[in-house]
Amino acid sequence: MDIKGQVAIVTGGASGLGEATAIELARLGAKVAIFDVNLEAAKRVAEQTNGIACQCDITNSESVEAALEKATQALGPARILMNVAGIGTAKRIVAKDGSAAPLEEFVRVINVNLIGVYNISRLFAAHCASLIPGEDGQRGVMIFTASVAAFDGQVGQQAYSASKGGLVSMTLPMARDLAQHGIRVCTIAPGLFATPLMKTLPEPVQESLAASIPFPSRLGKPSEFAELACHIVTNNHLNGEVIRLDGALRMAPR
């Protein structure tokens, strides 16, 4: 799909990998709607990308429907959905004091990273399925952001790994479901990227994380994630696939 002139939604577009994706989409000529719970930060990126900011909690159907309506009114119907919003956590299932991990924490992460992504994807897919198809009978494309933790999750990462593993497992059946509607679905599983979250870690920790990446031995640049996300949009034969973007990193247990 040609990105130029398309309307694209980027969840989590107010920060990190989502922000870089919004900037790259705008550079390639898309009209971008930033869907994020953080409206102030979303507005900052919207200004930079000449797009619009929509306050949106992906776990809440009314919030997603309102944001989709706002984006459609302002920019026209979207054919690209970049699912980048997500949260992280680390909790051992049995804590050092012997107590069991709180269930609420597991539920919270699954709710945002897996159920939230499914929620906006189902509403976007229904919206897209009603559009007139373009080249190759294509109506839309959506991308999930998983993590290498879906495959090699570390100590304490049960909730995060399960949520991202859910996205990996959902990719093919959703691509199969949506084939009849001309909508493609792919997933990127990033390794370690230099986003604001990562930059809050002490310098030595960042350096040791970077050293664990075989080549290139540095954190991924958000722009590299954005380039792959945009390539998936332009390459019509990529569908139902999960792509690791990690410099050959395989994470150790801790």
Q: Is 118 a catalytic residue?
A: no
Q: How far is the CB of 98 from ligand NAD (least distance, A)?
A: 30
Contacting range for ligand NAD; rule: CB under 6 A; set: 7-15, 101-109, 125-133, 172-180: 7-15
Which of 39, 66, 87, 228 binds ligand NAD (CB under 6 A)? It is 87
The footprint of ligand NAD on residues 114-153 (CB under 6 A) is 116, 145, 147
CB 145 within 8 A of CB 188: yes
**Token pair of 72 as six digits:** 């459609």
Q: Please give the Cα distance from 217 to 188 (Å, whole number).
A: 20
Task: Return the closest-CA partner of residue 52 out of 26, 27, 84, 81.
Answer: 26
Q: Which is nearer to ligand NAD, 1 or 226 (CB)?
A: 226
Contacting range for ligand NAD; rule: CB under 6 A; set: 67-75, 126-134, 168-176, 196-204: 196-204
CB 21 within 8 A of CB 45: no
Q: Which is nearer to ligand NAD, 182 or 247 (CB)?
A: 247
What are the two backbone dihedrals, phi and then psi, of residue 227, each rounded to the nearest 5 degrees?
Answer: -65, -40
Candidates 106, 124, 144, 160; catalytic one: 160
DSSP state of 149: G
Q: What single letter denotes the amino acid at residue 7?
A: V
**Token pair of 163 as six digits:** 């949520």
Write the Ramachandran bin of 2: left for phi over 0, alpha for psi from -120 to 50, otherwise beta: beta
Which of 51, 165, 190, 247 binds ligand NAD (CB under 6 A)? It is 190
Query: With CB under 6 A, what is the number of residues at the site for ligand NAD?
Result: 31
The footprint of ligand NAD on residues 20-79 (CB under 6 A) is 36-38, 41, 56-59
CB 103 within 8 A of CB 42: no
Kindly list the residues in this chain that would bind ligand NAD in the complex (CB under 6 A).
11-12, 14-18, 36-38, 41, 56-59, 84-88, 112, 116, 145, 147, 190, 192-193, 195-198
Catalytically active residues are 160
